[in-house]
């Protein structure tokens, strides 16, 4: 419902107040001045009213695609994963599956689901075109039938993994664009994604897909135009501003697998800066982060430059990050959802650097948070709880010295998309009516963060989740 909305007895900045929304803005915050004409009156009953949360790093179309396929993330055993794949293949063999008969499986994690090779996959799915995405989102395993469908023999050699005899193993690495051309892009409804975001209090996201391209951008434009996607969206993967979307820094990949060249990267950064735009550098490993920071400094930092992930960032770079004003967009949920894997495979010398939080803050480094959904859950409250506990799925501790309090972690979602790591947005007159209402006071929520306490969400003054 749009129009004038009065939210009564809401906790804002520690005080109980009434808040009037009018014309997509916060028109009043105070007490004793309740207007007589409001189209809707909401009794907050002492629940906290916050600015709507912003997720600073998501992949919207990948989220939609994952919802439309099989998600292995809830499967905690190899047997459960096998059953999910087999069931999806059985359905596809008797009816039209999504993507023109293809079965899309996401969230495969070798540590929870066991080794997955072509023999196992074919045994599970039979004569069915199945592609299974690794939890990182960078690789796919294609069933034998799927390999024939796409003509894997004609794929660029750089993306096809081969065994000792030279035959394809079925694994395709960093081949999304090539696979998309063979399978065909199909519009994915973003309605369910938008509802999921609203349900946890998210009113805006930054889509961090590196190269959206005309086709993917058109899908997002259609979703916005049809009302499927109601959140505010900032884009990193476009060269020119797109109508109806916020324009963020230009996303560039720093990828150890493809080779690291600090001088060449500095040249690319400088070229982006000459367009009066900052950069967002994807950097995960120690080498990638050293390359990313070195290149930004060589090009000359620009306000708004940021590092996406910074998962293993050497301490010796902190002073340079802070002095240059470079923001690191972290993913606290990765500790909880992927921490057991990281503890098993990360070099012991790098464990102290893994998904840092408190040490960044102590050094004065600007931080904001994103989920990297669908790689992790989009639920910011789960991420906030993990930022406090630093516990994995199994209960193992990851860098306990990096723990922060819940209020600090919440702040990572309350900064403006154009200034992540900057000043926190507030519920105050004149502010956009993008709001998240909890059914408990803020202190109670922060003591035990849980998205179940999100009572309502407004975007541009319109309630999108009653």
Burial class (CB in 10 A: 0-12, 13-18, 19+), 180: middle
341 near 376, Cβ under 8 Å?
Answer: no
Per the CATH hierarchy, to which homologous superfamily does domain 1-51+427-466 belong? Answer: Urease, subunit C, domain 1 (2.30.40.10)
Domain range annotation of the chain: 1-51+427-466, 69-183, 191-424
Buried b (16+ CB within 10 A) or exposed e, 138-151: ebbbbbbbbbebbe
DSSP per-residue codes, 146-187: HHHHHTGGGS-GGGEEE-TTS-EEEEEES-HHHHHHHH----
Predicted TM-score (pTM) of this structure? 0.92
pLDDT on residue 142:
96
For the domain spanning 69-183, the CATH number is: 3.10.310.70
Taking the C-alpha atoms of residue 172 and residue 446, their distance in angstroms, rounded to an integer, is: 42
**What is residue 34's predicted lDDT score, i.e. its pLDDT?**
62
Bridge partners (DSSP) of residue 30 are 18
Rg, Å, the chain Cα set: 23
Residue 456: how many other CB atoms lie within 10 Å:
21
Residue 13 is predicted with a pLDDT of 96
pLDDT recorded at residue 1: 47
Quick one: which H or E segment has residue 204? strand 202-207
Q: At 18, list the tokens.
A: 């009434």
pLDDT at residue number 318? 98
Instruction: Tell me the fold of 191-424.
Output: TIM Barrel (3.20.20)
- Sequence-separated (6 or more) residues with CB below 8 Å from residue 141: 108, 116, 117, 118, 121, 131, 132, 134, 170, 171, 172
Distances (CA, A) of 185 to 99, 104, 105: 8, 13, 16
Q: How far apart are CA 198 and CA 359, in angstroms?
A: 32
The pLDDT score that the predictor gives to residue 97 is 44
The per-residue pLDDT for 65 is 87
**In this predicted structure, what is the pLDDT of residue 429?**
97
- The tens place of each residue's pLDDT in the chain, 466 residues long, gives 458 999 999 999 999 999 999 999 999 999 866 666 778 999 999 999 999 999 999 999 999 988 878 989 889 899 999 999 999 888 877 654 444 468 999 889 888 899 999 999 999 998 899 999 998 888 999 999 999 999 999 999 999 999 999 999 999 998 888 998 888 766 778 999 999 999 999 999 999 999 888 889 999 999 999 999 999 999 999 999 899 999 999 999 999 988 999 999 999 999 999 999 999 999 999 999 999 999 999 999 999 999 999 999 999 999 999 999 999 999 999 999 999 989 988 999 999 999 999 999 999 999 999 999 999 999 999 999 999 999 999 999 999 999 999 999 999 999 999 999 999 999 999 999 999 999 999 999 999 999 999 999 999 999 997 6
- CA pseudo-torsion sign 258, 261, 262, 266: negative
Give residue 236's pLDDT.
97
Per-residue confidence (pLDDT) for residue 257, from 0 to 100: 84
């Amino acid at each position: 419902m749009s129009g004038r909305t009065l939210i009564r007895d809401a906790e804002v900045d520690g005080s109980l107040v009434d808040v009037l929304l009018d014309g997509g803005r916060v028109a009043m915050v105070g007490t004793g001045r309740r207007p007589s004409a409001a189209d809707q009156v909401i009794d907050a009953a002492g629940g906290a009213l916050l600015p709507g949360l912003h997720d600073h790093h998501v992949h919207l179309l990948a989220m939609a695609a994952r919802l439309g396929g099989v998600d292995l993330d809830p499967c905690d055993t190899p047997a459960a994963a096998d059953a999910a794949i087999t069931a999806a293949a059985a359905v596809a063999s008797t009816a039209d599956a999504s993507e023109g008969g293809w079965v899309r499986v996401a969230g495969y994690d070798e540590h929870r689901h066991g080794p997955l090779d072509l023999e196992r996959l074919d045994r599970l799915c039979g004569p069915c075109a199945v592609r299974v995405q690794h939890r990182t989102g960078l690789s796919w395993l294609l069933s034998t039938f799927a390999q024939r469908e796409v003509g894997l023999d004609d794929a660029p050699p750089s993306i096809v993994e081969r065994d000792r005899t030279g035959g394809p193993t079925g694994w395709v690495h960093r081949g999304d664009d090539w696979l998309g051309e063979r399978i065909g892009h199909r519009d994915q409804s973003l309605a369910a994604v938008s509802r999921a975001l609203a349900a946890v209090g998210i009113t805006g996201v930054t889509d961090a897909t590196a190269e959206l391209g005309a086709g993917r951008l058109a899908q997002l434009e259609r979703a916005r135009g049809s009302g499927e996607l109601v959140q505010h969206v900032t884009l990193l993967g476009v060269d020119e501003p797109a109508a109806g979307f916020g324009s963020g820094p230009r996303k560039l990949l720093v990828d150890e697998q493809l080779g690291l060249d600090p001088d060449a990267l500095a040249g690319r950064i400088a070229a982006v800066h000459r367009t009066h735009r900052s950069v967002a550098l994807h950097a995960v490993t120690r080498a990638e982060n050293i390359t990313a920071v070195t290149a930004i400094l060589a090009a000359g930092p620009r306000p708004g430059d940021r590092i996406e992930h910074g998962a293993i960032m050497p301490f010796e770079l902190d002073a340079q990050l802070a002095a240059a004003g470079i923001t690191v967009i972290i993913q606290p949920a990765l500790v909880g959802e992927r921490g057991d894997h990281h503890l098993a495979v990360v070099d012991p010398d790098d464990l102290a650097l893994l998904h840092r939080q408190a040490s960044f803050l102590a050094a004065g480094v600007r931080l904001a948070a994103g989920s990297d959904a669908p790689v992790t859950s989009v639920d910011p409250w789960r991420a906030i709880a993990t930022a406090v506990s630093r516990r994995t799925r199994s209960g193992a501790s990851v860098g306990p010295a990096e723990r922060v309090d819940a209020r600090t972690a919440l702040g990572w979602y309350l900064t403006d998309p154009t200034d992540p790591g900057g000043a926190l947005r507030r519920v105050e007159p004149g502010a956009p009516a993008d709001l998240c209402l909890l059914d408990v006071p803020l202190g109670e929520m922060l003591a035990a963060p849980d998205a179940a306490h999100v009572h309502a969400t407004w975007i541009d003054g319109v309630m999108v989740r009653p």
